[in-house]
Amino acid sequence: MDKIKSVIAQFRKVSLSDLDKVELMNRVDLKFCFHFNQAHLVFESIKDSYSVLEIEGESIFNYYNTYYDTIDNQMYLNHHNGKLNRYKIRVRRYDQTNNCFLEIKFKNNKGRTIKKRMERSGFDSPFNTSELDFVSKLTPFSGDKLSPKIINTFNRITLVNNSFTERVTIDFAPGFKNGEKEVTLHNLVIVEIKQNRANETAQLTQALRSLKVEKQGFSKYCIGRSLTEDIKQNNFKPLLLKISKEYSN
């Protein structure tokens, strides 16, 4: 991680208020996965085209998610089976600011991701009346019928391009745990490029392709559950095999 810290120290810095200019709660996402050993090369190649989020002198932040689903895993199976117009529901804690949010992500049949969230007082507390109403209004699910399925942790660096049209999250060492098993993929890096319209000529996309990194769909919720329990996963097997070969050691 020292090489990465050394490179990102050379980036221009932005604050949380600066990022408000590019919230992109309704967006198109591009995802890429690569080995940790390539990370410093990626940052080096884009340091003049992007700025890095910095809070109190820090640019690498800890995130905690708890994902919720129905008793019959409807949200997981909708994603596994390739259903369009699908949802993810989670509670997220931002460790540096200690803020918690209930978040709903909706992937529509046009490939856009729409995110809604509301702040909450704690990470582990049950949904209150306002949160239950929030879930019922924005999803086809009843909040009181949902239960926590898996906890996901990772470290994140957030970038924004110089024209403030593109927001990038770079996640390191995603970890997954339920009541029985815990898995951490120490060598995996997940990049997500968030844009209002898909622009595959973006600087980061070009940098990744020059390093032979191709687009790769990756759901932390679905892959985390596939790695930690016996659940339907046929359609994820190519990615799970790649994870086993390239990122698990």
Q: Which two tokens stand for residue 66?
A: 């708890």
Euclidean distance between CA atoms 231 and 224, whole angstroms: 11
Place of tokens 């359609």: 235
Confidence of residue 31 (pLDDT cuts 50, 70, 90): very high
101 with 120: CB under 8 angstroms? yes
Q: DSSP string of 145-211?
A: G-EEEEEEEEEEEEEEETTS-EEEEEEEEEEEE-SS-EEE-TTEEEEEEEESS--TTSHHHHHHHHT
With beta carbons less than 8 A apart as the criterion, state whether 87 and 230 touch: no
Angle at 239 between CA 234 and CA 244, to 5 degrees: 105
Q: Quote the radius of gyration of the chain (alpha carbons, Å).
A: 18
Residue 40, number of CB atoms within 10 A of its CB? 17
Q: Are strands 12-14 and 50-53 parallel, antiparallel or unpaired?
A: parallel
Residue 66 sits at φ, ψ, to 5 deg, of -115, 120
CATH code of the domain covering residue 198: 2.40.320.10
pTM metric for this prediction = 0.94
Provide the total of helices (H) and of strands (E) in the chain, helices listed first: 8, 11
Q: Per-residue pLDDT tens for 140-186?
A: 999 999 999 999 999 999 999 998 889 999 999 999 999 889 999 99
User: Which range marks the domain in which residue 64 is found?
Assistant: 2-246
Tokens 């931002």 — which residue? 94
Supply φ then ψ for residue 37, to 5 degrees.
-65, -20
Residues 47-94 have pLDDT tens digits of 999 999 999 899 999 999 999 999 999 999 999 999 999 999 999 998
The count of other CB atoms within 10 Å of the CB of residue 38 is: 14
Of all residues in the chain, what percent carry a pLDDT higher than 90? 77
Mean pLDDT of the chain: 92
Distance of CA 71 to the CA centre of its chain: 24
> Count of domains in the chain?
1
| Cα 104-188-118 angle, rounded to 5 deg | 15
Lowest mean pLDDT among 1-10, 47-56, 108-117, 200-209: 200-209
